[in-house]
Structure 1
C-alpha cells in the first residue's frame, strides 16, 4: 500500500474543517494550543516541526507524518534534517517506529516532488 501524502494531507484538512463545524469549541481550543506550542521561541518553528515529526513517527501517526513533514519543509528543514529526525525516531521507537519512518521517508520524497 502506498499513501500519497500530499493528497492525504489535503483530505485530512477537509475532514478537520468538518470537525470545526461539528465541534467548534474543541477545535478552537486545539487550534489555540497548536498555534501557541508551535510558535518560535527558544526553539524555531522548524525545530518544533522536526520534533513533532519524530513524535508522530514514534507514535505511528500517518496524519502527523503528512502534516509535520510538509510543515518542516515549509519552515526550511532540509532533507538531511528530516532524515536525522527519522533516525532519532527509530532509535526512540524501535521496530514499530522503523515501519513508520519508512512512511515519513515516502512523505518527504512526495512533498519534495510536489513543492518543486
Structure 2
C-alpha cells in the first residue's frame, strides 16, 4: 500500500514517509533498539496496526522472544491495564510470525 500512496505526487506525504524511514535507521541507537522503542510506543498508544508492523520489523532486526517480552512489560507498565487486550493480540501475532520462515 505504501507504493500506491507514494504514487501520488504529494510532497508532504513523501517527506513524512522519508522521515519515518530515516528515523528507524541505525545511528547512536541501533535499528533493533529503535524498533523496540516503536513497539513500546505503539503498545502505549494502543495501535494494533502499528504494533504488528513493529513486531515484524523487530523480528527482522533480530529481536528474540525474551527481548519482546521485556519490551511488552515496559509498554504494560507505562500504558497500564488498558494495554492488555493489545498485548494479547501482539503475542498472538508474534506466535504467527515465529511460525513463518525468517
Query: TM-score surpassing 0.5?
Result: yes
How many residues are matched?
A: 102
For 1:1-116, what aligned pairs fall within 5 Å after superposition? 14=1, 16-22=2-8, 24-115=10-101
Higher RCO (C-alpha 8 Å, min separation 6): 1
Root-mean-square deviation (Å):
1.5
Distance 1:98 1:23, change over 3 A: farther
Q: Normalising to structure 2: TM-score of the pair?
A: 0.89
**Structure 2: gaps of 5 or more residues:** none
List 4+ stretches of structure 1 deviating above 4 A.
none
Task: Determine the C-alpha separation between the residues in 1 that align with 2:38 and 2:49.
Answer: 11
| In 1: Cα distance, 2:11 partner to 2:3 partner | 13
Deviates more, 1:21-30 or 1:105-114: 21-30
Distance across 2 between alignment mates of 1:45 and 1:36? 10
Q: CA deviation at 1:87?
A: 0.9
* TM-score, normalisation: structure 1: 0.79
Structure 1 residues not aligned, in runs of 5+: 1-13
